[in-house]
Amino acid sequence: MSAASRRPAGDARAEEAVRDELSAAGDLAEGTKENYRGWAARFAAWCELNGLVAFPADDETAQLFLHAHYPRWRYSYAKAFPAALRAEHRRQSLSVPVLEGCTEYLRRLSRDAATAPEQEKVAALRVQEADTIGRALATLQPQDPRVIRVRAVVVVSALLGLPLLDLPARAFDAPDLLWAERLPAAAMPVSDSEVRLSPPGGEAVIVDAQRHPVEYAVLRAALAQAADPAHPLAGPPGESRRLTSQAAARAGLLQQGAGLLAALSPSDLHFLLANVDEHYQRRVRDWAYVLAGVFTACRHDELSRFMLDRVDETAHGYGVWVDRVKNHPEGHDYEVQHVEDPLTCTHPLCPACALRTHRHVVRRAHGRTTGPVFATRYGGQWRVMTRQNGRRVVKGLWERAGLPGEARVATRALRAGGITSASEGGWEVWQIAEELSFHQDVNVCEVYVRRLDPFSHEFFLPV
């Protein structure tokens, strides 16, 4: 039995009263209005089929309608029906019916064990689960040995000025040309503090672990996994060039043309290296989506309305203006804030840092400055990420991180997670409803607080 149906009837009535008030004031969210219209249409169609008068509705007809669908309609599904009927009467300028019998019927239905059990609640993806996912992402990538090797080829080619992209494919068979794949292990000794690159006949280049941590890490990883110990960077002919070209295209760097590698700035080089992994951009998007969802306790519907040209940098992170969403018909400014001091923040779970990286990718790689922040590309266009897509993202990360496989995971897990984390962090439910989740009804907000983990004190949601 769920918390919702355990609630005393008085609370359910209070919730209904709130809905009625909102409905009377014409202040319902678009989704709720649509739901109400659906109920009114179903009721009218059923009445017509049974030779009954739908409007103005009669309390007994309303009960008959509900009972005709027993036991298929459970309480949580049918509970909106009386409010929907009343709203429809207001819409048609009819006098609003008293539906006491209908309400009593629903009350009994809420205690009825014969109706289908309520669907299991969506799991909460709290800060703890985000942390598990973040760690999994960090240790799992990149798994592809080709990515590790080609990244090193790119680094060596860039640092030593060796040809890679600006060479026709057939030239790769020419024995007199030097490129990174041909460097012997002896030309790349590695220690804990540096890699010394010594091309035959050329000047040595030191890659210092402190000063060039990315390049050093790339080389170290490739040298450690080398399949051919004599020629650690050797791979199938043409593969490095092909993967690098694809990476440059994905990174939006192709327009720079021949001589690409030598001309790259350090930050462009790093961006190219990241994009050698074809899943890099998607991972950045998914991570930003998850963290933004948890830390703002957003619905997918809200996240999908984050627009690039409505994202502004603030003193604390980012402000994202969304024109019209559920509970905020006049629009709302979502705050995606840094977990630590904005000037120095590098916290692995920071939603603002994740959003910044994602914005950078979108701007650099897609050349996008307008349209949805969280987008999927299909049909040759960047489109709003659908709910199914969002669900796949959340579920995919959940499973990859080895979180409980039996849990029901959907986009709502982010909102439930944010609210539960806030509660675990010591927020009162009313405070969460008012400042984080923007629930009009505290009872609804409370349903989102999944459970309290006594060992969760080290995780928190910054106010």
The span of 48-56, 259-267, 343-351, 443-451 binding Zn ion (CB under 5 A) equals 343-351
Sign of the alpha-carbon torsion through 146, 151, 156, 161: positive
Question: Which residue has tokens 């709302």?
Answer: 332
> What Å distances lie between residue 420 and 199, 377, 414, 437, 458, CA to CA?
57, 33, 10, 11, 14
Measured from the CB atom, the residue of 86 and 338 that comes closer to Zn ion is 338
Shortest distance (Å) from residue 263 CB to Zn ion: 31
Buried b (16+ CB within 10 A) or exposed e, 343-354: eeeeeebbbbbb
Q: Which stretch binds Zn ion (CB under 5 A): 100-108, 205-213, 346-354, 416-424?
A: 346-354
Q: Is 350 in the site for Zn ion (CB under 5 A)?
A: yes
* Residue 353 is a binding residue for Zn ion (CB under 5 A): yes
d(CA 449, CA 415): 10
Q: How many CA atoms lie within 13 A of 72 on its CB side?
A: 4
Name which of 299 and 338 has its Cβ closer to Zn ion: 338
- Closest approach, Cβ 291 to Zn ion, in A, equals 10
Contact stretch for Zn ion (CB under 5 A) within 141-149, 304-312, 334-342, 403-411: 334-342
Q: Does 156 bind Zn ion (CB under 5 A)?
A: no
Smallest separation (angstroms) from Zn ion to the CB of 288: 12
CB of 292 to Zn ion, least distance (A): 12
Question: For residues 218 and 320, which CB has a smaller minimum distance to Zn ion in the complex?
Answer: 320
β 317-322/311-313 pair status: antiparallel
Other Cβ atoms less than 10 A from the Cβ of 67: the count is 12
Work out whether 185 is an interface residue with Zn ion (CB under 5 A). no
Beta carbons within 8 Å of 89's beta carbon, 6+ residues apart: 55, 56, 57, 95, 96, 97
- The DSSP bridge pattern shows strands 375-378 and 332-337 to be unpaired
Residue 352 binding Zn ion, by CB under 5 A: yes
With CB under 5 A as the contact rule, the residue among 220, 332, 338, 359 that binds Zn ion is 338
| C-alpha to C-alpha distance for 242 and 164, rounded to whole angstroms | 10
Under 8 Å between Cβ of 162 and 156: yes
Span from 41-49, 198-206, 347-355, 415-423 in contact with Zn ion (CB under 5 A): 347-355
Q: Tell me the site size for Zn ion, rule CB under 5 A.
A: 5
Q: Is 345 in the site for Zn ion (CB under 5 A)?
A: yes
Mask: binding to Zn ion, 292-331, rule CB under 5 A, as x and -? ----------------------------------------
- Residues forming contacts to Zn ion in the complex (CB under 5 A) are 338, 345, 350, 352-353
